Amino acid sequence: MTSAAYMLSDNHPPVAHGKVGVLLVNLGTPDGTDKVSMRRYLKEFLSDRRVIEWSRLFWYPILYGIVLNTRPAKVGKAYETIWNKDLNESYLRTYTRNQAELMAKSLSGFSNVVVDWGMRYGQPSIASRIEALQKQGCERILVFPLYPQYAAATTATVNDEAFKALLKMRWQPALRTVPPYHDDPVYIEALVNSIRQHLSTLDWEPEVVLTSFHGIPKSYFEKGDPYYCQCQKTARLLREKLGWSEKKLQVTFQSRFGPEEWLQPYTDKTVEKLGHDGVKRIAVINPGFVSDCLETLEEIAEQAAESFHHAGGEKFTHIPCLNDSVDGMAVLEHVVRRELQGWI
């Protein structure tokens, strides 16, 4: 057979082509609040070397001997208090799906763009969504880790997983990843609007507003993670826009895990101290979380509120994440349209 005849043969499987995929990826979520689902989720999460950097020789005996025997029940109970009972799923899942659907609507003018969503841990997995996008003809895929501030434990592990999904493909799609947007004016403006709008619904004024970011171990920062500096920059830009002092808008870090020192000041300790120091009215916002989840709805809106009241505080309010609000979508759409330049 001549090479031309070979080329013209119909041996080659048919391929869809010509599309551009946008894949929104958030952290993850258990399938249910029961112990089995929680264990499966935490096992995948806490086996990630980007999340727990300790040697496996040291970590696995602790993970399998203690953490996976005790934490699933405890965390499952916390999830129960914030579970989206209408849809029988976590809010992180609900909001992420809504964001993808709204993004698809906003990009519907581009007939070749397909929007999808996935989770780094649990379902739908990044690999399954990349495969689905490719089957629909996406030769280019924009992966959007839904974290305004970059951390190796969040952004990098999403990107790792996306590139890992390409490892065994003969015909890989081109992949782009979205950079952090911690200082993007559209993001800062959306946060300022949500603070102003939320505070306008109250009949009281907070003395202090905490911007509470998820923490990371201090050692990760010392190894060069830019996360801490990006959180500080977000807070500085918010202060400048709001015209507030460092005393009025303070930065804290929440969700410590394990015995190591994490980024300070800690949210829980700060909330207690404010109460003990005689501060009566505070608000907390979580600018690092694109969607409300366990860490915002349970740890802050429930736990931190309770400990503030125990410490003598009187008024506490949690400012919701941007979620699938008009302002929140404006941020995500702005970032996606910018990062798709040259592709659409």
Which residues carry a binding-site annotation for Fe(2+)? 214, 295
The mark string for 206-235 relative to ligand L6N33NVT (x by CB under 6 A, - otherwise) is --------x-x----------x--------
Eight-class DSSP state of 262: B
**b/e 95-132 (16+ beta carbons within 10 angstroms → b):** bbbbbbebbeebbeeeebbbbbbbbbbbebbbbebbeb
The mark string for 6-35 relative to ligand L6N33NVT (x by CB under 6 A, - otherwise) is ---------------------x-x------
Q: Does 90 bind ligand L6N33NVT (CB under 6 A)?
A: yes
Taking the C-alpha atoms of residue 274 and residue 125, their distance in angstroms, rounded to an integer, is: 41
Q: Is the CB of residue 42 less than 8 Å from the CB of residue 83?
A: no
Eight-class DSSP state of 13: P
Q: Encoding tokens for residue 1?
A: 């057979």
Instruction: Report the amino acid identity of residue 172.
Output: Q
Where along the sequence are the contacts to Fe ion (CB under 5 A)?
A: 255, 295, 299
Question: Measured from the CB of residue 27, what is the shortest distance to Fe ion in angstroms?
Answer: 7
Number of other CB atoms surrounding residue 189 within 10 Å: 16
86's CB contacts (< 8 A; 6+ apart) are none
Taking the C-alpha atoms of residue 316 and residue 303, their distance in angstroms, rounded to an integer, is: 11
For ligand L6N33NVT, the closer CB: 71 or 281: 71
Question: Measured from the CB of residue 106, what is the shortest distance to Fe ion in angstroms?
Answer: 29
Taking the C-alpha atoms of residue 234 and residue 38, their distance in angstroms, rounded to an integer, is: 33
Residue among 51, 141, 178, 300 that touches ligand L6N33NVT (CB under 6 A):
51
Q: Does 95 bind ligand L6N33NVT (CB under 6 A)?
A: no
For ligand L6N33NVT, the closer CB: 105 or 269: 269
CA 174 to the chain's CA centroid: 24
Q: Does 152 bind ligand L6N33NVT (CB under 6 A)?
A: no
Q: Encoding tokens for residue 67?
A: 């953490």
Question: Measured from the CB of residue 5, what is the shortest distance to ligand L6N33NVT in angstroms?
Answer: 56
Binding site for ligand L6N33NVT (CB under 6 A): 27, 29, 45, 51-52, 71, 75, 90, 92, 147, 151, 153-154, 214, 216, 227, 255, 257, 288-289, 293-295
